[in-house]
Amino acid sequence: MNSSPLQPKSLIVCPGAVAAQVTVAYDRMVLDCPLSWLAGPESQLLAQGSTLVHNENGALLHGTHLLAGVLLGKGAQSLEEESCELYRRMFAITHGLNRYRLWNYVPRINDRIAGVENYVAFNAGRHRAFIEQFGGIHPRELSAASALGSTGGTVALVFIAGPDPVKHYENPLQIPAAHYPECYGKNAPLFARGSRVHAPDGSTSWYLSGTASIRGCASIGADFSHQLQITLENIQRMLVEMEVPVARHAAWNVFLRDRRDLEICRQRLADTFPDDVHQMTFLEADICRSDLLLEIEASFRTLPHQKAAS
């Protein structure tokens, strides 16, 4: 199904589905994602463009300076093969463009199949696709990204790319994920901690990767409150590194392993980022490491007429 280019089209992510699926109708492309909604906005707008194209295993949103899409696995291969194939498809679709942001939804991310954790298998497939595409691992190709555990279905990959210049960032308090030692898996996760994009119209977008309670490469924090504190310290450091201004539009996703931690998390985030409280979506999801209790990601944007207050 192709859409008419007469009005703006949107890429939207909605939680609550049984399995990942994409629907395209009128001006909306929606990824229904198998995550449980807890609080905040019940859907999130990721991108807007002029034309939607839908096919059996995903959909694309085309804009003048943007290409966004959702790609779904077919569920007929191992998770490693499925992930590798999704990234091959994404690299082919975005050839010649800069990749700004990636979202990965991995079914039962902490489960093990034949002794291999699903997240480790996903990383192996992603790693193989990177090596095939670029002949190695190059920091300039590693954009902001997240990987969350969905409750079922097949792996889903969401991306935003385009021709505009992008700068990727690392957190000085953390080892770059691509340099993790093999104790976290033979194939390291491949992403940057954040990315910044300048558009021709003068607007700027910042993408904060999924951020958790990690220092160096180790998970720390024996309880939720401690992990939340370390996560917020990492976020604050990245906002400084990326030079995200105070005056900006924000959209947050907060992923909790246990929904009983919702209220303490909401209150702490409201105290820390009071201007953003109405743009925070809280979801129940498994995190990429089984010892992590939460992960937080965000997107920020300034319009051409906004002043970058600090």
pLDDT band at 2; cut points 50, 70, 90: low
The architecture that CATH gives domain 9-302 is: 2-Layer Sandwich (3.30)
State how far the Cα of 172 lies from the Cα of 98, in Å rounded to an integer.
24
What mean pLDDT comes out for the span 193-198?
97
Query: With pLDDT > 70 as the criterion, what percentage of the chain qualifies?
Result: 96
Q: Locate 199 and state its tokens.
A: 């558009």
Q: Is the pLDDT score of 7 beyond 80?
A: no
Q: Which of 2-6, 171-175, 251-255 has the lowest mean pLDDT?
A: 2-6
State how far the Cα of 218 lies from the Cα of 74, in Å rounded to an integer.
34
pLDDT band at 310; cut points 50, 70, 90: very low
Q: Residue 147 in contact with residue 109, Cβ under 8 Å?
A: yes
What mean pLDDT comes out for the span 85-104?
97
pLDDT band at 187; cut points 50, 70, 90: very high
First to last CA, the chain: 45
User: Is the full-model pTM beyond 0.85?
Assistant: yes
- The confidence score (pLDDT) of residue 6 equals 61
* Interstrand relation of 144-150 and 98-107 (parallel, antiparallel or unpaired): parallel
Q: Residue 13 in contact with residue 231, Cβ under 8 Å?
A: no
Q: Is the pLDDT score of 309 beyond 60?
A: no
**In 108-185, which ranges are E strands?**
112-113, 116-117, 144-150, 156-162, 166-169
Residue-wise pLDDT for 278-292, tens only, equals 999 999 999 999 999
Inter-residue long-range contacts of 232-236, CB under 8 Å, 24+ positions, other chains counted: 232/268, 232/269, 232/272, 233/173, 234/171, 234/173, 234/174, 235/208, 235/211, 235/296, 235/298
State how far the Cα of 191 lies from the Cα of 33, in Å rounded to an integer.
22
Which conformational region is residue 243 in: left (phi greater than 0), alpha (psi within -120 to 50 degrees), or beta?
left
What mean pLDDT comes out for the span 130-139?
96
Name the residue type at position 116. V
In what side-by-side order are the strands of the sheet with 166-169?
36-39, 280-284, 249-256, 294-302, 204-211, 194-198, 166-169
Residue-wise pLDDT for 16-54, tens only, equals 999 999 999 889 999 999 999 999 999 999 999 999 998
State how far the Cα of 157 lies from the Cα of 83, in Å rounded to an integer.
9
pLDDT band at 91; cut points 50, 70, 90: very high
Q: Locate 304 and state its tokens.
A: 């051409």
Q: Residue 138 in contact with residue 95, Cβ under 8 Å?
A: no
pLDDT band at 62; cut points 50, 70, 90: very high
